[in-house]
Structure 1
Amino acid sequence: MFHRRGEIIIYRKQDSNMKKSSLILLYIFCLLPLAAQRPPKHEVRAAWVTAVYGLDWPRTRATTPESIRKQQDELVEILDKLKAANFNTVLFQTRTRGDVLYKSSIEPYNSILTGKTDGNPGYDPLAFAVAECHKRGMECHAWMVTIPLGNRKHVAALGKASVTKRKPAICVPYKREYFLNPGHPQTKEYLMSLVREVVERYDVDGVHFDYLRYPEHALRFSDSYTYKKYGNGRDLAQWRRDNITEIVRYLYKGVKALKPWVKVSTCPVGKYRDTARYPSRGWNAFHTVYQDVQGWLGEGIQDQIYPMMYFRGNGFYPFALDWQEQSNGRQIIPGLGIYFLDPGEGNWTVDEVERQINFTRAHGLAGEGHYRVKYLMDNTQGLYDILQENYYTAPALQPAMPWIDNVPPTAPTQLNVGKLADGYWKITWQAATDNDKRNAPTYVVYGSDTYPVDTANPENILAQRIQGTEYIYAPIRPWNTRKYFAVTAVDRCGNESPVCQ
């Protein structure tokens, strides 16, 4: 791969399948000055908030009223910073290794919250995260680690509360760790019981499954008895892939039966398998961990995929194209390994991340996820500033899910604008209606200094996910006050109504 800053060219002498036209378009796009590129109006901009070991949050243990507030304030600080850079999706870690960050009747609280196993932090972290994300117009997805249960020390610390004690039939030891057994029919039911708690009790916008796979190269994984009982003549690799696919299918259909608008996503290994453009060099989802992700997409049992594309050069670009080409219209959101910007983690330079964002936009992928939020908070190599100033310069709405619902709400009506004291504006309208009566639509408010307001321009978005029929506009800079306003309604599947202005 040859590249200069702002330029991407994928090249292999033996690669006869590479299309010249796509390379030329990509070359032209990536040479455009950043200031000339308007950010897309619809784009997923996600960040993983990692709770395991307190990697991103929390730093403070919730043991007193004061420390509870401090723990909450730490999360608010993260969300405020994401909001300020126009992020719109938070992947909030909700289950780690057989323990959780919400009030569950099935699994214990994670000790990171209080310093002790199943310690009650005095509030519900997931409920708090959802409410605070929604206040800021951001989606909150419950990030749930699925198959791993932790090492022996961790499992011992959970004691009788561990699933290894309560449901030993579906758990297996492997290399000094414990895992749920994907081949046992009750494993999918157990996972769905946890998902059901989250989806029924919380207004989450998505459920995001992590480590929904076998351990890497697990030829000696302890499932020989289960294989003999349920293999039905299939070879071991195909049986394992079928097991993971069946769990994915069961969870997807279970979520949709409860709340169809809740997005179901997974973060698989970043390379599906070898492509016509480039090999995976022995590390891929299909063969290494038994994830048939393109099969899931083809069957329509995922809404989004966040492939963990923590690679550079030809480890990223041809595989990102492969995901998009096999997406079946679903949303592909590459996970970017921004942690490699830390000299202690890798030797990436920030222009690598910039090229990857340019590439995802050039090829119409649905957005990008940043792993992890700590490196945004720390502004590692200036990445946060670069995103805020060059890439995420305007808000972005969520891409729609037409395979779930493609009917937009009716347009709001009777827009009224009144000037208040101190330069504030009060904007009101009459409510819209949606074909799904379970959810009232939310609203997007646009403002411009020209009429009519161009609602295709994301720079005119003043606020999104407004739940009422009133918005108070407070100009950040008096000399940049908008004169004209418009409102649209958006349903839970991202369909936007006609404009009212």
Structure 2
Amino acid sequence: MRILKIAFLSVILSVVSCNDNTTAPKENLKTKEVVAEAPTSFKYWKWIAVGDKESASSIEKRFSILKENGIDAILINTNADPKTLSKAAPIANKLGLEVHAWMFTTNRPGDSIAQQHPDWYMVSRSGKSCFVKEDRPYVGYYQWLSPSHPEARKHILSLVEGLAKVEGVTSVHLDYIRYPDVYLPVGLLPKYDLKQEEELPDYDFDYSDASVEKFMALHHKDPRKMENPAIDIEWKNFRLNEIRSLVNEAYEVVHKHDKKLSAAVFPYPEMADHMVRQRWDKWKIDMVLPMIYYNFYNEELDWIGYATKQGVEDLEGKPTELHTGLFTPKLTPEDLKKAIQMAKDNGASGIAFFDDGKMTEEQFEIIKNSKE
């Protein structure tokens, strides 16, 4: 919601996998699954990673801490591995936690299947492919698959379905469901010694063969030959619609298995459109968790309320819930308290907290007390 997760965030933090090699006690693995407790009217979520070698006892200990500190739902990153998720989900359910299966979607770092197909990857306007390590934008784990390539799309949806089949899961949670950042959050630009006052060729995607050929079949013009593709509305809208249609297909897949679809998204729809070709208010989706990490944008704390309200208003009349995402490492306990209230006051249905493993006792105390 991992760079970050900002979901971009992506751009500054890497996902941490747990590698506890202890053998899990049999009784923990055979815990009878129970239905999670009914969620509160204002839900608290937490992004968290679980490694494939982590023991059941270690997982239960970490989940218990979250439950004891007011968390209602957990977004579990298992690197899209249904087996690991099947181990973690019953433990969470037993504790009364909702389980949401978090996955990297169009950005698929380390995907062994995708890496066998260089033509599946996005290409920049400058001709650089996300398949080639040295040519990836910003960071090495930016390995973006083209939603326009039919086999790449089929692969992504197969991962979605694999997670949706796991018992005890409430939703499949799409992260990095977008294109690479054509514009970084302004607070991150100094890290890369960049100025982005226009769409730069190295950060403008997807000029892969699959994408260009699909676009040309619809609009009979080649974006590779445009003098200024940034002002061509059809070209921009094509990419917005490629992400939209992928989300809509994922929605049908998960609902076939009686699960819901959720996603980590950029702060509000107009901003997401501008920065990463992601117009999430037009998606068929049950829940969105906009990552309103105000400090990434050099904004003040009250921007959390502004961005929450903007997203809520853009979703008016739709069944989609909005849960505000907060970047807790940069929030003092007092600011966290204010941020929670701002989200509530501006129409959010809940709050999702990131980052995994860095919550302080003081922050947890604020969360617990805010539920009373």
Normalised TM-score (structure 1): 0.52
Whether 1:183 aligns to 2:148 is yes
What residue in structure 1 maps to residue 261 of structure 2? 264
Cα separation, 2, equivalents of 1:313 and 1:360: 11
Contact kept, 8 Å, 1:87 with 1:392, in 2: the verdict is no
Q: Note the aligned Cα RMSD (angstroms).
A: 2.2
What residue in structure 2 maps to residue 170 of structure 1? 120
1:75 to 56, 59, 65: 59
Contact kept, 8 Å, 2:101 with 2:172, in 1: the verdict is yes
Cα separation, 1, equivalents of 2:65 and 2:267: 27
Whether 1:204 aligns to 2:152 is no
Cα separation, 2, equivalents of 1:314 and 1:137: 33
What residue in structure 2 maps to residue 425 of structure 1? none
Residues 364-379 of structure 1 mapped to structure 2, 5 A cutoff? 364-376=347-359, 378-379=360-361
Residues 34-45 of structure 1 mapped to structure 2, 5 A cutoff? 41-45=40-44
Cα separation, 1, equivalents of 2:58 and 2:68: 16
Contact kept, 8 Å, 2:336 with 2:366, in 1: the verdict is no
Cα separation, 2, equivalents of 1:102 and 1:134: 16
Determine helix, strand or coil for the equivalent of 1:144: strand
Contact kept, 8 Å, 2:114 with 2:152, in 1: the verdict is no
1:84 to 68, 93, 118: 68
Cα separation, 1, equivalents of 2:324 and 2:248: 22
In the TM superposition, residue 142 of structure 1 has moved relative to its aligned partner by 0.3
In the TM superposition, residue 314 of structure 1 has moved relative to its aligned partner by 4.5
Contact kept, 8 Å, 1:265 with 1:305, in 2: the verdict is yes
Q: 1:363 to 1:316 in 2, by over 3 A?
A: closer
Contact kept, 8 Å, 2:47 with 2:75, in 1: the verdict is yes
What residue in structure 1 maps to residue 245 of structure 2? 246
Contact kept, 8 Å, 2:81 with 2:163, in 1: the verdict is no
Determine helix, strand or coil for the equivalent of 2:244: helix
Residues 209-228 of structure 1 mapped to structure 2, 5 A cutoff? 209-217=174-182, 219-228=203-212
Cα separation, 1, equivalents of 2:281 and 2:82: 32
What residue in structure 1 maps to residue 47 of structure 2? 48
- Name the aligned partner's letter for residue 270 of structure 1: P
Determine helix, strand or coil for the equivalent of 1:202: coil
Contact kept, 8 Å, 1:307 with 1:334, in 2: the verdict is yes
Whether 1:332 aligns to 2:322 is yes
In the TM superposition, residue 209 of structure 1 has moved relative to its aligned partner by 0.3
Whether 1:144 aligns to 2:109 is no
Q: 1:126 to 1:227 in 2, by over 3 A?
A: closer
**Higher alpha-carbon Rg:** 1
In the TM superposition, residue 224 of structure 1 has moved relative to its aligned partner by 4.2
Contact kept, 8 Å, 2:107 with 2:144, in 1: the verdict is yes
What residue in structure 1 maps to residue 311 of structure 2? 323
Point out where structure 2 has 5 or more consecutive residues left out of the alignment. 1-38, 123-128, 137-141, 183-201, 220-232, 295-299
Cα separation, 2, equivalents of 1:49 and 1:367: 17
Q: 1:222 to 1:228 in 2, by over 3 A?
A: closer
- Name the aligned partner's letter for residue 361 of structure 1: K
In the TM superposition, residue 222 of structure 1 has moved relative to its aligned partner by 5.0
Give the structure with the larger helix fraction: 2
- Residue-pair matches, total: 278
What residue in structure 2 maps to residue 116 of structure 1? none
What residue in structure 1 maps to residue 281 of structure 2? 294
Contact kept, 8 Å, 1:85 with 1:392, in 2: the verdict is no
Q: 1:236 to 1:224 in 2, by over 3 A?
A: farther
Cα separation, 1, equivalents of 2:248 and 2:40: 31
What residue in structure 2 maps to residue 129 of structure 1? 88
- Name the aligned partner's letter for residue 164 of structure 1: Q
Cα separation, 2, equivalents of 1:330 and 1:371: 21
